[in-house]
Chains A and B, each alone.
Chain A
Amino acid sequence: MKVEKTREGYFKLVASYKKEAGGWAWIIHRISGIVLTAYLYVHIYALSTLTKGKEAFDAEMALFQKPLFKFLEWLLFAFVLAHTLNGIRIVLVDFGKGAYYQKKAFAYLMIIGIIAFLVMGYFIFSHEINQMFAGLI
């Protein structure tokens, strides 16, 4: 079968598809998957500092406790959630009867994801939030 080259190019072609839940889930899953794999490399590299002793590791951890990195960590969790929750949906579709309720499943799982994202925001920034409200009480 000869694949014809599109005049618009790949990305415009994908963008032109009518997207329902599954289409969005497919794109989100791919983007988050690439981000998470790239992060995994960074994560393994960063943790290899453990072998260089306590001082080197503590200095690195102190860097990761800075607000910018905390925010990035929180953002990373959004990708983790999107990928994990949609992964559950994929497993249900492939191994279970998910095909019958995959659109609903996508909606519910994304709502769970948003709630979990906000809850994690509290856990990551709990010191800052507590400090903010400490002055009010």
Chain B
Amino acid sequence: MRRNGPLALIFHVIFVIIMVAPILVVCLVAFTPEGYLSLPTNGFSLRWFRTIANYPEFIHAFWVSLGLGALSSFVALMFAVPAALSIARYRFRGRDALAALFLSPLMIPHVVLGIAFLRFFTSAGLGGSFAALIIAHVIIVFPFALRLTLAAATGMDLSVEMAAVSLGAGGWTLFRRVTLPLILPGVISGWALAFIQSFDDLTMTVFLAAPGTETLPVRMFLYIQDNIDPLVTSVSACVIAITMTALILLDRFYGLDRVLAGKGDTGR
């Protein structure tokens, strides 16, 4: 294949700079020693990271987000793993419709989901509760958990399972000793990707969160609505760092290219 010409490379460099610039600027401003928004020109300071400690609502929101992400991704997998095994292995009437239904939260605007869940949980007397947030997040992260588990289950050599059966394994033993270990990379990546989606969701959660159950993106959003100062950049820098950690984890277990290539659609 031919190499890229100089014009193409210039385009590429500008493109990459534009892609990285907003993220970079957030991280840089977070280190400013000044009391106002500015790029750190004379020395880096952790001042605004320390300031976060004075805002317990951010700390609390962080724990809510972390717990919500971890728990809802786990619950989603409890439902997604059997569903993925079923869809990967059986050809049955209604299979395509089921798969479409399970992936539909990708297609439905999160605003609409937020409104629907708000209406539903308020009627059910669960408005603003952590339980409502968990259930809602299980739905929106389900497609991500399902997709990666499905890819792993589809790629699995079925004769390995048959071999285990012929050697006397059945039911739960078969699942625990052979099937689960074989699809585990997909399951863990599904969890990590689901976690990131839950951790980052604003649009749907902003409808459901009440004081006390506000997640970090919701807290940040409400804060930005009033004023933009270096504090929110340092919080953002922390969020970026956490996401990066999850990304590295994903890359380790699964290969980020595979995760992203199998994606095509995500929250906004």
A joins B in a complex: no
Chain B residues within 8 Å of A, Cβ to Cβ: none
